[in-house]
Structure 1
Amino acid sequence: MIAFDLNCGNGHPFEGWFPSAADFDTQKSSGMLVCPLCADVHVHKALSVPNVPRKGNQRAMLPPAVVVPQADVTGPTPAAAEGPSPALVELVQKLARAQTEMLDNSQWVGGNFAETARAIHYGEEPDRLIHGETSTGEAKALADEGIGVAPLLFPVVPPSAKN
């Protein structure tokens, strides 16, 4: 996973985690990146310091992949200078736990998500929870067909990419 420092068109800084730089570009061009503070879709990379890990087994574990707003360094309000409120942190943690529980009870179908979702919807495959990858356009087409789909709130590492 790669962490990028990001800014929206309104100047809000935040951090995003992506499987690769190409994945960032794909999500940006698809309009999938949104500022968590103001919902602006004009998101771009900010200047950032590269992360140089320790060598070998001395590297620390990375935190879970979530997008967390950072304090606005250009002119913080008193609330922003203190960081996210404890209620916001608790909400994000609850959402992350709920997604993890859902994924534990769901089947990864990878790039076959749209086809599998249609097959389940039309009774060609057994009813079950699934998760996988699809394009924004294909997700919209599924929703237009009345097939219940929703994007995951937090990034997911495909089973094939796990160590």
Structure 2
Amino acid sequence: MIRYALKCDKDHKFESWFQNADAFDALKAAGHVVCPDCGSTTVEKTLMAPKVRPARTAAAKPDMPQPTPAPLPAQAAPSQPTTAPHVAPPPEVQEEIAAEIAKLRAKVEAESDYVGEDFAKEARAMHLGDAPERAIYGETKLEDAKELIEDGVPVMPLPFTPTRKVN
């Protein structure tokens, strides 16, 4: 998994995780990388500082003097926040989104088999060739979903909770 700092053409900045660099490129080319603020699909990677841990050997030597950082000059606090608060879309946009999710739910339920809590087991079996490939949906624990992704099993979360089917 790799995390990228991203920016859309309207200068909204956000981060997202991808299976690898090729997965980002493929998703971007297909128009699936979308700005969460404005919905733009014109998204680019931006510079991101790596997360670096200090060396263990340096931390293990208490006799070495640690440099003291120079005091920073006092600055006035900004009068306004530096980032805009997240604003919910207008009601008509929310209704449109809800309608699209309802259409997606109907399509998934009509064209896929519900496997319930056996989702991870079924998806892995199909990926390994132990079961015939078919469209499935269901539920799984977050840990199991992460393992599927790490193993290269093509899965994705749905924007709705599946309707539980009962005998």
TM-score bucket of the superposed structures, by smaller chain: 0.3 to 0.5
Normalised by the size of structure 1, how large is the TM-score? 0.45
- Larger Rg over CA atoms: 2
Normalised by the size of structure 2, how large is the TM-score? 0.44
